[in-house]
Structure 1
């Protein structure tokens, strides 16, 4: 099966390791076979190793070393951030972030709700089993 995600100028990537974990960036230049120059409107331009990047399906149309104004316009035109958030990958990351932000009390409430639901399901199931069971002679 051929590759669909290539490292190229304008390719949107996700940082998968380090202090910027989970942030989207755009590849603005390829330095060598191991590193790329990445940028995003709210972040500073920096060099990142390819091992720390996860390439996405999204691409914006920019030139090499695009200035922030052009990058911001291209991202707004392509609506990349919203498309990524709507993708299954973005939803999975949002779900992980929400779970990591829960408190002990939130986890307790979820456990109680799960147990309550399980009791209701078990009660209905046992009732169905009683009515469906054949009578013994």
Structure 2
């Protein structure tokens, strides 16, 4: 399978480190082999290393660097598309579970135990 997620103008990324961790942003400019400039709805325009972002499949073709208004428009277009993707759904579920309170964690654990018990009964395991 060929590699299909390249660092390019208009590529949607997930910030993986720093104050904006977990936020979505768009690559607005490529500075050098290790650094890009990003901007997003909750991410101020900043320079970040490529090691600190996760590339997604969503991108908008652009032959040049994006200005502030273009970046905002691309974000508005790509973020709903990302939220419908499998990766976006997994991220949303992970965020929901991370924000559980004590009772919700206990309920989820109890439901998981009941589910495992039913599966083991159906499979004939002890």
| CA distance, structure 1, for counterparts of residue 5 and residue 59 of structure 2 | 9
Q: List per-residue Cα deviations over 1:47-105 (Å, max 9, x = no partner).
A: 000000111111124541412x22222333xx311111111111111111111111111
The answer as to 2:92 corresponding to 1:91 is: no
Q: Which of 52-61 and 109-118 deviates more?
A: 109-118
RCO greater where, 1 or 2, for CA within 8 Å and sep 6 or more?
A: 2
| Structure whose alpha-carbon radius of gyration is higher | 1
| CA distance, structure 2, for counterparts of residue 45 and residue 92 of structure 1 | 26
Shift of 1:115: 4.5
Instruction: Report if aligned partners of 1:60, 1:75 keep a CA contact under 8 Å in 2.
Output: no
Instruction: Give the TM-score, by structure 2 length.
Output: 0.79
Consecutive unaligned residues in structure 1, runs of 5 or more: 126-137
Name the Cα RMSD after superposition.
Answer: 2.4
Shift of 1:114: 4.1
Instruction: Give the TM-score, by structure 1 length.
Output: 0.74
* 1:24 aligned residue: 24
Consecutive unaligned residues in structure 2, runs of 5 or more: none
| CA distance, structure 2, for counterparts of residue 29 and residue 98 of structure 1 | 32
How many residue pairs get aligned? The number is 121
